[in-house]
Structure 1
Amino acid sequence: MSPASTNCSRPARGFDRAFRDAIAADEGFALAHIALARTLQVLGRGNEAKAPLERALALAPATTSREQGHIAIFAKILSGQGAAAVSAIAEHMKHSPRDAMVLGCHGAGTGHRCLRLDRLLG
């Protein structure tokens, strides 16, 4: 697979197990739940993503504003709200420009078209 490939499931293999381990260690870790949901979607197992998505949303009010931003962005991606996700990413990047978790999803919900990160970052 070339680095330019849009098939992103190969790098995600094994991540689901790692996120499940994180959840087992701390069931209240909201970011592990939302990351598991996104990983399952990337792996083509979107039907399994609903429960961790719902758990992340339930835990979100007790998290930091930055974590709430992550959860909101990934919830939009997972529910097919690509345009809203792009707007949420742009807003999030104003406050956390080096946020790797959010930068990692910059093409999500956009048909894998590359977003102009220079525009997101100002």
Structure 2
Amino acid sequence: MRERRRRRERRDHARLTAALCEALGTGDACAVARVLGPGVRVVVDAGGTGLRASPALTADPAAHLVVVLGRPDGRELAVRSVNGAPGIVARRDGTATAVVVASGRVGAAAVVWVVANPDKLREW
């Protein structure tokens, strides 16, 4: 029973990651919101880069995520293994600008973690 649940959770995670990558690629906060669903939290580690969101953005997690990742033109998104599970790596001009990992399933994500701290992205 546990193994079946783990397989389902891994499958749900992979589907969420793929759908989120596709939605983020459009730069459309509404598309991102549909993938994430209601009640999701976005946690951003931007280090000291000044990527602080306004209260209006933190009230809208999808918009917050779109703003943190920046404009879609010139940005590359790819699903990659992040700590052994599917995640999204954002690059601009070949340099990693963010790593995104979400938990939950399409339409019912719980938390999206974003590392946009340049000091932590050097290895990506």
Question: TM-score surpassing 0.5?
Answer: no
- Structure holding more helix per residue: 1
TM-score (norm 2): 0.30
- Structure holding more strand per residue: 2
Higher relative contact order (CA 8 A, sep 6+): 2
TM-score (norm 1): 0.30
